[in-house]
Structure 1
Amino acid sequence: MLFNSLPFVFIFLPLTLAGYYLLIRMGLKQWIFLFLVIASLIFYAVWNPPYVLLLILSVLGNYLTGLWIERARDNGSGSGWALALGVAGNLLVLGWFKYANFFVDNANMLGAGLHLERIILPLAISFYTFQQIAFLVDVSRGEIRTGGIWRYATFVIFFPQLIAGPIVHYKEMMPQFFGRNPGRFVTANMTVGLVIFAIGLFKKTVIADSAAFFATPVFEAAQAGNTISLLAGWKAALAYTVQLYFDFSGYSDMAIGLARMFGIKLPVNFHSPLRAASIIEYWRRWHITLQQFIVSYMYQPLVLPLSRLAAQWRLGKWASFSVTVAAPTVVLFVVIGLWHGAAWTYVLFGLMHGTYLAINEFWRALRRKARRKSGIPGSSMALYHAVTLIAVIFANVMFRADSPAAAIAVWQGMIRLDQIAGMATVLPAKSSELITEPGLFLLGAAALIFLCPNTQQIMGRYSPILHWNRWRNRAPSLLHLTWRPTLPWMIWSGVVLFLGLAFILRGQSEFIYFNF
């Protein structure tokens, strides 16, 4: 079921909220987990009922593995084998459903002659797999203890964050269900949650889906082998960057808003990444929970032994940097690229960002002493912003393209500098198109991205996310707008919600991250 669908907004969500708060009012708090699990399974089953069984088996298998790890740890017998088998089992299931066809197809290109029926990718398998791996690791570290099966199932498949994150941690999410008085501040939580949801819905249906109208025809033309012009190439690259930005930002807002309606705060997953002045900072603000998962559960465990080896081998400064920073970063971002999808475009997207990050880390290390002495002048900061934005836009072309060849075709259009001389004759004829579509649209989207506060900042008075104090002063906007329960803001919220719902009538489209 899609968040941006009328049945979800007008049927599923009201009934689920009513049932949840009715159980609390009746003093049946012990039943809320079973209720949320059933509701979330119904939400998931609308997409593909047979894969509900896979989701249930994954939850049950990881819960039992968590109990095994916990028991082994308590007995002092060591939980290493249990953890290794649990992680391996999760990765095998993910690998089969997500990558089996990819590897068979590539093997057949080399003449292997293998046959495998097309496997339909289970919705959200990447997200609930990573979330459960984090749970097993946290249990093995002694950071959490397993609870009842219904509590664990709620943690995994709570529908606001099931499909595309954020990737949440048991120790952050579940204690919120056990406050002194669950269901407190119902009116405040419902209001704040609904406003956040409305903003996210507007981003998705009004902005992201509109941007797709400008980007999609150009990428389809590139895939068909057509030559892409300078204007068309940049229109597609910029429009898709806007589409991806507001699509994922919109989903993140809607997830946070929906959870808040139940009195639950989710961690931030998106915080104005295009305002970043470096690729490092960009990834700290884009898909934040995925980046934190990679750092905590993959990067650090990989880098620690490499650092010891570099010390043993007495490598020099830059050789050590290559072994302990550059190489792991590139490798892990290739993995992140594959995590997004089983296609060479995603592999190359990951390779591009891994290379960006390695270069960024090298530059930071090279400039560290100079930066300490003089700081970063404003002109350099503006240049860093521009370089980061251009790097992201070029990588997004590869992310969107149906094949590497199509991405190269769009890139070739973007760098057709020989066409600049002919702009004087082209622009007058195209002026009305540039002003109305997509020029004015892209300018408006750019103003929202670079000048206006993000959703967390608009709702900052109400602590919209977990650990809001850590993010309150990050990525400040030039315009300062703070939502309050006043008549003008209520009217604004109503208009935003109305437009978000009205634009659903153009046709529903999946969130981009639903495919991962």
Structure 2
Amino acid sequence: MLFNSHAFLFVYFPIVLFGFFLIGKRNARAAAGFLALASLFFYGWWSVKAIPLLIGSICINYWFGLRLTPGPARDDHQRKRLLIIALVVNLGVLAVFKYANFFVSNVNEGLAAAGFSPIPMLHIALPIGISFYTFTQIAFLVDCWQGKVHERSFVHYALFVTYFPHLIAGPVLHHAQMMPQFANPQTYKADPRKLALGLAIFSFGLAKKLLIADPMGQYSDLLFNGAHNGLAPTLYTAWFGVLAYTLQIYFDFSGYSDMAVGLSMCLGVQLPLNFRSPYKSTNIIEFWRRWHISLSTFLRDYLYVPLGGNRKGPARRYLNLFLTMLLGGLWHGAAWTFVLWGALHGAYLMVNHLWNAKVRRNVPAGPIARVVGWVLTFLCVMIAWVVFRADGMHTAVAVYKGMLGLHGAPPTAFSEMGLVPYRKSEFFRTLLVGLLICLAFPPTISLERWVPHPQALTGRRVLALGSTVMIASGSFLMFAWAVSKLGGYSPFLYFQF
């Protein structure tokens, strides 16, 4: 079930929303249980066969968490060994389901080169969302071991892991952000202001997905599919196609994150901000503080810092940065293209930190420096997106050659290779609107600023009415326009990770 589907919009979510607050009036714990079961139903809509793995993961990690928590009768050495076992179990399950086929295919290439018979492929289906709920629970286990977890409700823990707005494509949640909210009785009381704001944020996210991401995806798919099939993209085609994908992945993932935040706000629960206008960044360090914030925070706290962070000298710091991004790339998918994407960003970060340490102090910080920094950052991000999107290195190389003009430069990108998904004017209009939103508009979550709190509006009823009418009208028109585009199957890009 997709957020951008009739079944979700007009059946599933209204029932869940109504049922959650109806039950919450009588029993908050029962309402949490209802929402957890509704989240399992949402997950099972994708694959009933994957539900036992999710439930098993929840139960065993809850059991591990109870025993990892410090206590007078628990030896620290035993707890550390148990933590290692728990991490091995979680990472082992993730490795089997996500990387087994990748490992076997690479082994078979080596065997074929040596003249040996290949190993039979395992053909293991990847359960959707496994990376997100596994990372969420790994963070929980580490925090239990460090004594940071005090919540003990199994119902709240199950809801924390399965919570449907984040379950399929993130954000990666932290128990400290969520479980206190589930324990708060006020969460289970309907708040008209949160409901209105949540619906507005959801509408903007839905519009991002259907009005910008999907149209941009039509053009980028034609470019990358054409390159995969042996067609040589020329200069304009390559650059427009990569720019289209740069906007597609931003509005696809940002749109999903907005929808998740909006849906959760309707239920009275605040999800963490996952995007903060990353394409405005003037360096790569800033980019990773704005893009997929929950994953960046997880990689920093649970990988970069345990590796030593910046505590063991500059050389080790650069190595830790590179390894963190390399593993972050591999987390996105079992393919060498994702590894290369992570390596590129690791190299970018190393250069950025080296520049800050050795050169930046001698370069005046002014408007020109910021513009140059933004251009370089945006180009580096675009270049890395090529290997992220390509289904193989041969496709990426073909696109890179096109971007370098090695395949020629015809006067238009819309007449060669049949790349005419729709009218040229419509493409450029969507492209320009997308760039304007990325570079000039604040994050969607800032809509909260335009919905004043009732306590701040004493004696300012005209302002209250005006802001309410403006947000409500704009959200309704945006929602109606986006719903009019509902049609074929249109999954979110991060569902595959």
Give the TM-score normalised by structure 2: 0.91
Q: Given that residues 333 and 351 in structure 1 are in contact (C-alpha distance below 8 angstroms), is that contact kept between their aligned partners in structure 2? A: yes
Letter of the structure 2 residue corresponding to residue 156 of structure 1 = V
Pair 1:12 & 2:51 matched: no
After the TM superposition, which residues 374-393 of structure 1 pair with which residues of structure 2 at under 5 Å, given as runs?
A: 374=364, 376-393=365-382
CA distance in 2 between partners of 1:41 and 1:349 (Å): 33
Deviation of residue 418 (structure 1)?
A: 8.5
The alignment-based identity, stated in percent, is: 38
Residue 459 (structure 2) aligns with: none
Residue 324 (structure 2) aligns with: 332
Pair 1:511 & 2:492 matched: yes
CA distance in 2 between partners of 1:83 and 1:102 (Å): 27
Deviations along 1:372-396, one digit per CA (max 9) or x if unpaired, are xx4x121111000000000000111
Deviation of residue 491 (structure 1)?
A: 1.6
After the TM superposition, which residues 398-409 of structure 1 pair with which residues of structure 2 at under 5 Å, given as runs?
A: 398-409=387-398
Match of 2:208 among 183, 191, 203: 203
Pair 1:297 & 2:302 matched: yes
Q: Given that residues 311 and 317 in structure 2 are in contact (C-alpha distance below 8 angstroms), is that contact kept between their aligned partners in structure 1? A: no
Find the residue that maps to 2:307 and give its secondary structure: helix
Q: Given that residues 237 and 414 in structure 2 are in contact (C-alpha distance below 8 angstroms), is that contact kept between their aligned partners in structure 1? A: no
CA distance in 1 between partners of 2:184 and 2:243 (Å): 45
Aligned residues: 477
Q: Given that residues 197 and 447 in structure 2 are in contact (C-alpha distance below 8 angstroms), is that contact kept between their aligned partners in structure 1? A: no
Match of 1:145 among 133, 147, 150: 150
- CA change 1:462–1:152 in 2 (3 A) is farther
Deviation of residue 177 (structure 1)?
A: 2.4
Residue 261 (structure 2) aligns with: 256
Residue 467 (structure 1) aligns with: none
- CA change 1:29–1:485 in 2 (3 A) is same
Residue 183 (structure 1) aligns with: 188
Q: Given that residues 268 and 288 in structure 1 are in contact (C-alpha distance below 8 angstroms), is that contact kept between their aligned partners in structure 2? A: yes
Deviation of residue 440 (structure 1)?
A: 2.4
Deviation of residue 208 (structure 1)?
A: 0.5
- CA change 1:74–1:190 in 2 (3 A) is farther
Deviation of residue 77 (structure 1)?
A: 3.8
CA distance in 1 between partners of 2:156 and 2:185 (Å): 17
Residue 218 (structure 1) aligns with: 223
Letter of the structure 2 residue corresponding to residue 321 of structure 1 = P
- CA change 1:427–1:242 in 2 (3 A) is closer
CA distance in 2 between partners of 1:299 and 1:221 (Å): 38
- CA change 1:490–1:72 in 2 (3 A) is same
- CA change 1:460–1:73 in 2 (3 A) is farther
Deviations along 1:141-187, one digit per CA (max 9) or x if unpaired, are 11112412111100101101111111111122111123353334521
- CA change 1:210–1:74 in 2 (3 A) is farther
Match of 2:384 among 395, 399, 409: 395
Deviation of residue 485 (structure 1)?
A: 4.0
Letter of the structure 2 residue corresponding to residue 193 of structure 1 = G
Residue 35 (structure 2) aligns with: 36
Residue 363 (structure 1) aligns with: 355
Pair 1:321 & 2:314 matched: yes
Residue 499 (structure 1) aligns with: 481
Deviation of residue 499 (structure 1)?
A: 1.5
Letter of the structure 2 residue corresponding to residue 403 of structure 1 = G
CA distance in 2 between partners of 1:237 and 1:74 (Å): 58
Residue 251 (structure 2) aligns with: 246
User: Mean Cα displacement is larger for which, 448-457 or 121-130?
Assistant: 448-457
Letter of the structure 2 residue corresponding to residue 341 of structure 1 = G
Residue 132 (structure 1) aligns with: 137
Match of 2:471 among 489, 497, 515: 489
Deviations along 1:315-340, one digit per CA (max 9) or x if unpaired, are xxxxx422x22211111211111100
Q: Given that residues 201 and 447 in structure 2 are in contact (C-alpha distance below 8 angstroms), is that contact kept between their aligned partners in structure 1? A: no
Deviations along 1:171-224, one digit per CA (max 9) or x if unpaired, are 221111233533345211111111111111111111101111111011011001
User: Mean Cα displacement is larger for which, 340-349 or 29-38?
Assistant: 29-38
Q: Given that residues 70 and 146 in structure 1 are in contact (C-alpha distance below 8 angstroms), is that contact kept between their aligned partners in structure 2? A: no
Unaligned runs of 5+ residues in structure 1 are 309-319, 465-481
CA RMSD of aligned residues (A): 2.3
Pair 1:228 & 2:228 matched: no
Q: Given that residues 200 and 471 in structure 2 are in contact (C-alpha distance below 8 angstroms), is that contact kept between their aligned partners in structure 1? A: no
Residue 90 (structure 1) aligns with: 90
CA distance in 2 between partners of 1:242 and 1:399 (Å): 14
- CA change 1:6–1:429 in 2 (3 A) is closer
Q: Given that residues 44 and 50 in structure 2 are in contact (C-alpha distance below 8 angstroms), is that contact kept between their aligned partners in structure 1? A: yes
Deviation of residue 72 (structure 1)?
A: 5.6
- CA change 1:35–1:418 in 2 (3 A) is closer
Find the residue that maps to 2:379 and give its secondary structure: helix
CA distance in 2 between partners of 1:497 and 1:193 (Å): 12
Q: Given that residues 240 and 413 in structure 2 are in contact (C-alpha distance below 8 angstroms), is that contact kept between their aligned partners in structure 1? A: no
Give the TM-score normalised by structure 1: 0.88
Residue 119 (structure 1) aligns with: 124
Residue 281 (structure 1) aligns with: 286
CA distance in 2 between partners of 1:182 and 1:427 (Å): 52
Find the residue that maps to 1:249 and give its secondary structure: helix
CA distance in 1 between partners of 2:486 and 2:133 (Å): 27
CA distance in 1 between partners of 2:251 and 2:449 (Å): 20
Letter of the structure 2 residue corresponding to residue 512 of structure 1 = L
Q: Given that residues 275 and 443 in structure 2 are in contact (C-alpha distance below 8 angstroms), is that contact kept between their aligned partners in structure 1? A: no
Letter of the structure 2 residue corresponding to residue 5 of structure 1 = S
CA distance in 2 between partners of 1:252 and 1:261 (Å): 14
Q: Given that residues 161 and 167 in structure 2 are in contact (C-alpha distance below 8 angstroms), is that contact kept between their aligned partners in structure 1? A: yes
- CA change 1:462–1:326 in 2 (3 A) is farther
- CA change 1:72–1:107 in 2 (3 A) is farther
Letter of the structure 1 residue corresponding to residue 300 of structure 2 = V
Deviation of residue 411 (structure 1)?
A: 1.1
Find the residue that maps to 2:479 and give its secondary structure: helix
CA distance in 2 between partners of 1:483 and 1:221 (Å): 52
Residue 312 (structure 1) aligns with: none
Find the residue that maps to 1:110 and give its secondary structure: helix
Residue 63 (structure 2) aligns with: 64
Residue 164 (structure 2) aligns with: 159
Letter of the structure 2 residue corresponding to residue 290 of structure 1 = L
User: Mean Cα displacement is larger for which, 454-463 or 161-170?
Assistant: 454-463
CA distance in 2 between partners of 1:180 and 1:261 (Å): 15
CA distance in 1 between partners of 2:108 and 2:414 (Å): 51
Match of 2:439 among 424, 434, 450: 450
Find the residue that maps to 1:509 and give its secondary structure: coil
Deviations along 1:24-53, one digit per CA (max 9) or x if unpaired, are 22x211212211111011000010101000
Residue 314 (structure 1) aligns with: none
